[in-house]
């Protein structure tokens, strides 16, 4: 099969010989990376997967049984009608770029590579999870997320190959040689080097870390570099399923934990083989505090440059804002004195855009948490989950090297250490959660520590045969 047939696309691959050659060279390396670092086992099984096959909002995807190595990783750009103008920053109103402006070349390449690197990283982080899936439904969803992160890598590699020449090809190769968690060749961002070795972590990752991705992709989808805007816009359609997996996954754990707490005479969900709610809270604290770092420094000249040059806008820049220049206005950011006293100061708004994006993210996480608490309340368990303050457990930016409790109040490092085991997962907690991770691969069955899903995939029942195991 010719490459143009195996790669569904709307970028007219067949007519661009140079691009085609570059991708033909990269594809076998991608596949060997997938076999080495993608899901371990299950590569011969038939999975009921969604594949992006077009850009029509109503009919963009196809569901069918496919073996993962045969998945058709495609390249799609959201179509544009007519010309588009740059929507913000110093070039606002000028024609958007279809080629890389020379002076922005290296900064743009770095932005694309940083985004691209997270895609294979998450597949690597999740590669062993299939072995302990709590249900066939969850197993299928894990693989759906994995193949789509693979497609997101293709989307970014397409941009590197088409617009960045030799440098772009070298970056595309390097994306397949770094390895999550490897001290010698780590992935670029720290959260993507964390271990995701249990399913509670997987749900937290798709809830909190993938959600950072949503906000980054949405900001890039405003970009004045049109191919990047269009590629990321299409990626967002797939991304919403990843966030759904995380948010509902945590919700199902919370529900079951509440039920088991009520079932146990001493209110101890662990005694019933479940995950107790304080442990769920510790996982939230860990993953939220790790993901929130991804937005960058509170005061950032890089963020100001990205906005000024028209490369990265705000979340829903066109819908939500009327002033797209942001030359006036300020934002109150926190500052810490040498003694650790918290105060605030006004900075020009352009320098606070990381914090503006982080505000959107935090509000979204708090919305989800309210939903979890609503579900929890219905079980009768007297426990309330929270999203920790963004100052808690940070190692970058203003709060790095300082200690705060989950409510965001300054505490001494001795106080922090004294509470560490109550706030963050301990090795014992991790061992306990790991002990619950026994595979449930029979159709329609669900592990004891998680509630069944409310609905199946693609209108199918919950007990549908989402995976056809071969042999
Ligand atoms: Fe992705
Ligand atoms: Fe994702």
Q: pLDDT tens-digit profile of 279-318?
A: 999 999 999 999 999 999 999 999 999 999 999 999 999 9
Cα 88 to ligand 2 centre (Å): 27
Mean pLDDT over 118-139 rounds to: 98
- What percentage of the chain exceeds 90 in pLDDT? 87
Q: Is residue 6 scored above 80 in pLDDT? A: no
Q: What residues contact 397, with CB distance under 8 A and at least 6 apart?
A: 293, 296, 297, 298
Mean pLDDT over 249-256 rounds to: 98
pLDDT tens digits, 309-319: 999 999 999 99
Mean pLDDT over 214-231 rounds to: 96
Kindly indicate the confidence band of residue 3, based on its pLDDT and cuts at 50, 70 and 90: low
Q: Is residue 189 scored above 80 in pLDDT? A: yes
pTM for this entry = 0.96
The three-class DSSP label of residue 342 is strand
Average pLDDT, the chain: 95
Q: What residues contact 422, with CB distance under 8 A and at least 6 apart?
A: 278, 282
**What's the pLDDT at 335?**
86
**What's the pLDDT at 262?**
98
Q: Is residue 223 scored above 90 in pLDDT? A: yes
Ligand closest to the CA atom of residue 241: 2
The full set of domains in the chain, from first to last, is 3-468 (1.10.620.20)
Cα 119 to ligand 2 centre (Å): 7
pLDDT tens digits, 60-101: 899 999 999 999 998 999 988 788 999 999 999 999 999 999
Q: Is residue 2 scored above 70 in pLDDT? A: no
**What's the pLDDT at 101?**
95
d(C-alpha 169, C-alpha 141), whole Å: 31
Cα 265 to ligand 2 centre (Å): 40
Ligand closest to the CA atom of residue 205: 2
Exposure class string for 55-85: b at 16+ Cβ within 10 A, else e: beeeebeeeeebebeebbbbbbbbeeeeeee
Cα 323 to ligand 1 centre (Å): 30
Instruction: Work out whether strand 342-348 and strand 330-336 pair parallel, antiparallel, or are unpaired.
Output: antiparallel
**What's the pLDDT at 295?**
95
Pair of tokens at residue 227:
């191919």
pLDDT tens digits, 392-430: 999 999 999 999 999 999 999 999 999 999 999 999 999
Cα 149 to ligand 2 centre (Å): 6
Cα 152 to ligand 1 centre (Å): 5
In the beta sheet, which residues pair with residue 49?
Answer: 64
Q: What residues contact 17, with CB distance under 8 A and at least 6 apart?
A: none
Sequential DSSP letters for 90-159: TTTTSBPBSS--GGGHHHHHHHHHHHHHHHHHHHHHTTTGGGG-SSHHHHHHHHHHHHHHHHHHHHHHHH
Ligand closest to the CA atom of residue 153: 1
Cα 423 to ligand 2 centre (Å): 27
Question: What are the contacts of 263-266 at 24+ separation with CB within 8 A?
Answer: none
**What's the pLDDT at 60?**
86
**What's the pLDDT at 298?**
93
**What's the pLDDT at 55?**
84
């Amino acid at each position: 099969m010719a490459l143009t047939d195996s790669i569904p696309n709307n970028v007219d691959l067949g007519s661009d010989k140079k691009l085609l050659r570059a991708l033909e060279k990269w594809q076998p390396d991608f596949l060997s990376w997938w076999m080495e670092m993608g899901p371990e086992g299950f590569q011969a099984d038939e999975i009921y997967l969604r594949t992006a096959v077009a850009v029509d909002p109503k009919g963009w995807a196809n569901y069918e049984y496919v073996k993962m190595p045969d998945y058709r990783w495609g390249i799609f750009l959201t179509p544009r009608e007519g010309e588009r103008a740059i929507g913000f920053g110093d070039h606002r109103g000028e024609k958007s770029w279809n080629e890389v402006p020379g002076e922005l070349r290296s900064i743009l390449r770095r932005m694309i590579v940083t985004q691209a690197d997270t895609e294979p990283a998450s597949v690597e982080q999740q590669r062993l999870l299939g072995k302990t899936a709590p249900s066939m439904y969850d197993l299928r969803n894990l693989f759906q997320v994995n193949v789509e992160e693979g497609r997101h890598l293709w989307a970014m590699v397409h941009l590197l190959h088409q617009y960045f020449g030799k440098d772009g090809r070298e970056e595309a190769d390097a994306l397949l040689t770094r390895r999550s968690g490897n001290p010698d060749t780590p992935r670029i961002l720290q959260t993507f080097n964390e271990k995701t070795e249990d399913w509670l972590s997987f749900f937290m990752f798709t809830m909190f870390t993938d959600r950072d991705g949503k906000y980054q992709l949405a900001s890039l989808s405003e970009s004045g570099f049109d191919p990047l805007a269009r590629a990321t816009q299409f990626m967002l359609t797939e991304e919403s399923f990843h966030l759904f997996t995380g948010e509902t996954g945590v919700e199902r754990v919370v529900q079951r934990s509440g039920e088991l707490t009520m079932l146990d005479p001493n209110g101890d969900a662990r005694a019933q083989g479940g995950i107790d709610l304080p442990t769920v809270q510790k996982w939230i604290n860990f993953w939220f505090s790790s993901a929130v770092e991804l937005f960058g420094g509170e005061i950032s000249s890089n963020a100001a440059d990205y906005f000024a040059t028209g490369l990265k806008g705000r979340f829903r820049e066109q819908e939500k804002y009327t002033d797209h220049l942001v030359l006036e206005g300020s934002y109150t950011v926190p500052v810490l004195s040498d003694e650790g006293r918290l105060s605030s100061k006004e900075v020009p708004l352009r320098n606070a855009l990381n914090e503006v994006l982080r505000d959107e993210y935090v509000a979204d996480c708090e919305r989800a948490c309210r939903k979890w608490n609503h579900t929890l309340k219905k079980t009768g368990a007297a426990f309330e989950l929270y999203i920790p303050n963004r100052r808690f457990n940070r190692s970058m930016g203003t709060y790095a090297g300082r200690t705060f409790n989950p409510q965001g109040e300054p505490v001494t490092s001795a106080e922090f250490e004294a509470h560490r085991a109550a706030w963050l997962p301990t090795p014992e907690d991790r061992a306990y959660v790991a002990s619950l991770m026994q595979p449930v691969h029979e159709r329609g069955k669900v592990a004891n520590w998680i509630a069944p899903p409310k609905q199946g995939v693609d209108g199918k029942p919950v007990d549908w045969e989402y995976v056809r195991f071969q042999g």
